[in-house]
Chain A
């Protein structure tokens, strides 16, 4: 096609789409975004003012003469112009090339240079309309600062408008108060996320540090919150299947292990879940022992499940416009719809530039089913993402139609990009945590790649008494909605914490595999106020400990003598005696009933474990399979603890542990491992 005809070609295509009429969807969505802008501007204005005064005062104090102060401000403003090039119009940002020729043609007598100066003077004020979360703040508290400020900092570091440092503390202390020893700041540069957090290429993962071996003398207790998320496995599987490199921090071993169902017995007695412990030799280090702790939630017969009030919060932003995102989400929802009945209600809230109710609460009877399907069929994506406003609306709706004694849940489907409004990880996480107290739980379904904010999605479900799944295919959608969600939706216990006490005369050191960002402080176990994970009906949760057998006192490492302390370090702390017991450890559990409040005391129970000296070859299929998955995760994380483990051993463990595998998930795992050969 001739270059002269390219515009008419595009014009014809646009005309064919909608003839002469306005594109009302487009305009509606734009209006929503402009509304959202106004809200942001009104929120940010006070700080802009303060900053303006600050600059003025600073300059005045330094230079005394007010006029010089003004000149100084102008120079500063010019700097702002230089670094904000990427979105301002051509007369400013394109002093060269085609922009310049346009400017010459259309500029009034003032001339181009004059105009550039004039407009640049206004730049910092204008840029301050953009809100960006500030992750530099210590203690995890989110502050809001204008992007102009951030941009200036970025420019002073790199002088490059396209590569502003987007430093993000991925797991901030404030965000993960229970993450104590595993918490640290991690700065990411140029992950493709702009300071405003607009949708860009690049999935984002929080940094994880594997738990290290600990001595029972020093740390007799290991405490963690249960995790029934499975997103990490599905995400890693997608990356391996498409031949991509798996980022280390995308691998959360506990989520990989918990992706698979294990055959644990139903609970007997008063507690809502059973505790099952199995010990055998550790496949990747035969001198070590491996302990599998498995919980199984009480099954609830589907027909007997309580009424549900589901509010779907769907991300319909432009980035969801891919076959593996919104259309897959809609198809997966249709599967769920088949499982629901006339007692259940479904509502749909969408969010993009603006948030809105796409479907008011609708009972899933015949007419309702049709209405829901119709609403699903009409979903289409466009605009950017205002997750914060959408979540607020979804919770409001869930609370308004709260079913007492039923299942009240917001189900968020997104690729994880929250662009406008409440942007910072922390502020969203805090909001979700606050809302969870009202009895509305949250499930998050992650979709697609290239834009997935895995770190945030995981974090908000950690806090929101919820769970996080990743859906990459209709098959996965079926598993999540039918097998996992129907279980998860009916929470049978919440704030489930596990604490294990190790016997120092049997255990030289121990290490919890995975759960790196689920660790709790030892005192949190008894603290009813500390939030932890939930267990759904029929759900299994599995954790593995690698144990170095022996006497911890004898195995204490040799330390150089201390200069300033009179008490020399002893291999066995003075005055502490060990109770003579054949037990290796005791597993203790704390949980609350799902309807319990924060103030309700947890229920506690425990189970003692004696090591049976089995080898892993004699262990159960579940033991073999779960240890295979754990080793696979360690290898993917390039963990130093993988010992003699390799992919051949993973395959062996997975194949020996396959069992009946009715749903084919374990076979699929073997296939993936084979791919990595």
Chain B
């Protein structure tokens, strides 16, 4: 909600304010779009298009809502539009959409506290070493599941379990952060 204050209402849309909002939200929206499309290039296009649509329709933006969830609504519509035109369909059911939205909303609350990515870095440091190294190998060194498992000398199943635990732990940590710091 806090970001909304930067938007002048009932006035000609302010480009600078919009740029500030875009700067604040673009990366979490990219992450959101990536969760939908599972593909980084498509998500960039979708988020770009969504910002342009938002800019065109800024006057319809309801100031009582928060910018992040409004943008995610547009991103979802852009993603559906893309899905219709694409031969490759990624099925994301409504339960998952709800989970994504719930997380994203919570993380929007971190914007004024340095943003979700800053918080994520802190949380990463709190991970136990065995989980942290799994995350490093899989996400940051961009190894495949099997390669990461080989590097860490564990079975594929163990790696999957560690990654799942790491994701759960990070999610809890971010949640705690957004609750405590708001």
Q: Which residues of A contact B (CB under 8 A)?
A: 1-20, 22-23, 26-27, 29-31, 33-34, 37-38, 86-94, 97-99, 101-102, 106-108, 115, 119, 122-123, 126, 129-130, 162, 192, 198, 200-201, 318, 321, 353, 381-384
Which of the listed residues A9, A22, A122 has the most CB atoms from chain B within 10 Å of its own CB? A9
User: Smallest CB-CB separation from A108: which chain B residue?
Assistant: B64
**Contact yes or no, A33 B48, CB < 8 A:** yes
**Distance of B141 from chain A, by nearest CB (Å):** 9
**Contact yes or no, B48 A29, CB < 8 A:** yes
Of the residues B40, B62, B118, B142, contact of A115 by C-beta under 8 Å: B62
13 additional A-B residue pairs with CB within 8 Å, beyond A20-B117, A22-B23, A89-B61? A8-B171, A14-B27, A14-B30, A14-B31, A26-B26, A27-B22, A30-B26, A88-B60, A88-B74, A97-B94, A107-B64, A129-B56, A198-B49
User: Smallest CB-CB separation from A353: which chain B residue?
Assistant: B48
Of the residues B45, B62, B103, contact of A7 by C-beta under 8 Å: B103
B86 at the interface (CB under 8 A from A): yes
Measured in the bound complex, the distance between the Cα atoms of B167 and A33 in whole Å is 35
Interfacial chain B residues near A87, Cβ < 8 Å? 53, 74, 77-78, 81
Interfacial chain A residues near B70, Cβ < 8 Å? 89-91
B179 at the interface (CB under 8 A from A): no
Interfacial chain A residues near B164, Cβ < 8 Å? 1-2, 5
Interfacial chain A residues near B86, Cβ < 8 Å? 201
**Contact yes or no, A33 B60, CB < 8 A:** no
B19 at the interface (CB under 8 A from A): yes
User: Smallest CB-CB separation from B121: which chain A residue?
Assistant: A20
**Distance of B23 from chain A, by nearest CB (Å):** 6
Give the secondary structure class of B's interface: helix
**Contact yes or no, A14 B34, CB < 8 A:** yes
**Would you give the 0/1 interface string for B143-168, flagging 1 where the beta carbon is closer than 8 Å to chain A?**
00000000000000000000010011
**Contact yes or no, A94 B73, CB < 8 A:** yes
Of the residues B26, B99, B100, B107, contact of A27 by C-beta under 8 Å: B26
**Would you give the 0/1 interface string for B60-90, flagging 1 where the beta carbon is closer than 8 Å to chain A?**
1110111001100110111011001111000
**Contact yes or no, B101 A382, CB < 8 A:** no
Q: Which residues of B contact A (CB under 8 A)?
A: 15, 18-19, 22-23, 26-28, 30-32, 34-35, 40-42, 44-45, 47-49, 51-57, 59-62, 64-66, 69-70, 73-74, 76-78, 80-81, 84-87, 94-101, 103-104, 107, 115-118, 120-121, 135, 139-140, 142, 164, 167-168, 170-171, 174
What are 25 pairs between A and B in contact, CB < 8 Å? A1-B167, A2-B168, A4-B103, A5-B168, A5-B171, A6-B100, A7-B100, A17-B40, A22-B26, A26-B44, A30-B52, A34-B18, A88-B60, A88-B77, A89-B54, A89-B57, A89-B74, A90-B73, A90-B76, A102-B101, A106-B66, A123-B60, A201-B87, A318-B48, A384-B45
Measured in the bound complex, the distance between the Cα atoms of B73 and A107 in whole Å is 14
**Contact yes or no, B56 A318, CB < 8 A:** no
**Contact yes or no, A30 B30, CB < 8 A:** no
**Contact yes or no, B73 A22, CB < 8 A:** no
User: Smallest CB-CB separation from A38: which chain B residue?
Assistant: B15
User: Smallest CB-CB separation from A86: which chain B residue?
Assistant: B81
Measured in the bound complex, the distance between the Cα atoms of B27 and A16 in whole Å is 12
Measured in the bound complex, the distance between the Cα atoms of B78 and A4 in whole Å is 23
**Distance of B8 from chain A, by nearest CB (Å):** 16
User: Smallest CB-CB separation from A85: which chain B residue?
Assistant: B77
**Distance of B11 from chain A, by nearest CB (Å):** 15
**Contact yes or no, A7 B60, CB < 8 A:** no
**Contact yes or no, A18 B142, CB < 8 A:** no
Interfacial chain A residues near B121, Cβ < 8 Å? 15, 19-20
User: Smallest CB-CB separation from A6: which chain B residue?
Assistant: B35
**Distance of A37 from chain B, by nearest CB (Å):** 6
**Distance of A107 from chain B, by nearest CB (Å):** 7
Of the residues B22, B31, B135, B140, contact of A30 by C-beta under 8 Å: B22
Measured in the bound complex, the distance between the Cα atoms of B139 and A15 in whole Å is 9
Interfacial chain B residues near A4, Cβ < 8 Å? 99, 103, 168, 171
**Contact yes or no, A98 B97, CB < 8 A:** yes
User: Smallest CB-CB separation from B35: which chain A residue?
Assistant: A10
Interfacial chain A residues near B56, Cβ < 8 Å? 37, 126, 129-130
Interfacial chain A residues near B27, Cβ < 8 Å? 14, 18, 22-23
**Contact yes or no, A8 B174, CB < 8 A:** yes
Interfacial chain A residues near B31, Cβ < 8 Å? 7, 10-11, 13-15
**Contact yes or no, A382 B74, CB < 8 A:** no
Measured in the bound complex, the distance between the Cα atoms of B74 and A87 in whole Å is 7
